[in-house]
């Protein structure tokens, strides 16, 4: 049984997915948020394959005491580092129907990293 909130989110998700499409040059950074965890993955929609993924359930966070926005920020940094190792520097952010606030925003900020003097981001470009 779906709640009104999930039905609304799915409706927004379908509407946004028409415009937001990831390619191999610029994959889509998709975010999924559950009550306890947060997941992020880079998706090439042309080939329908996941290139890089990270979540708060990864072994890297097993001993971490961070929760909420702090943990989402760290997941964002991890997915950005894995993307840079795979040779990906620019992505399209897909908030997946969630409001750009709280943990979703923290993940995006973590994936961007710090601003450089020339105006570009340290990790991923959105």
Strands 38-44, 49-55: pairing kind: antiparallel
In a domain, 60, yes or no: yes
CA distances from 91 to 21, 28, 85, 114, 123 (A): 10, 6, 14, 16, 11
Q: How confident is the model at residue 16 (pLDDT cuts 50, 70, 90)?
A: confident
Residue 108 counted as domain residue: yes
Is 74 within the bounds of a domain? yes
CATH of the domain at 31: 3.30.420.100
Q: What is the pLDDT of residue 88?
A: 92
Examine residue 123 and state whether it is found in any structural domain, yes or no. no
- For the beta sheet containing 92-94, the strands, ordered from the edge strand earlier in sequence to the opposite edge, are 49-55, 38-44, 28-33, 92-94
> What is the mean predicted confidence (pLDDT) over 12-24?
87
**Whether the predicted pLDDT of 19 surpasses 80:** yes
Contact status, residue 40 vs residue 112, Cβ threshold 8 Å: no
Over 80: is that where the pLDDT of 116 sits?
Answer: no
- State the residue range of the domain holding 22: 4-112
125 assigned to some structural domain: no
73 in a structural domain: yes
Q: What is the number of domains present in the chain?
A: 1
In a domain, 126, yes or no: no
* Prediction pTM value: 0.87
């Amino acid at each position: 049984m779906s709640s009104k909130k999930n039905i609304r989110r799915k409706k927004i998700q379908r509407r946004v997915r028409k415009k937001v499409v990831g390619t191999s040059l610029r994959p889509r950074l998709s975010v999924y948020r559950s009550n306890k965890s947060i997941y992020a993955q880079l998706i090439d929609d042309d080939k329908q394959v996941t290139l890089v993924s990270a979540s708060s359930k990864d072994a890297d966070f097993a001993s971490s005491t961070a929760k909420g926005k702090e943990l989402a920020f760290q997941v964002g940094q991890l997915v950005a580092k894995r993307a840079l190792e795979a040779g990906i520097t620019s992505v399209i952010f897909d908030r997946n129907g969630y409001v750009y606030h709280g943990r979703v925003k923290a993940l995006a900020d973590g994936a961007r990293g710090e601003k450089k003097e020339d105006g570009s981001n340290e990790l991923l470009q959105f």
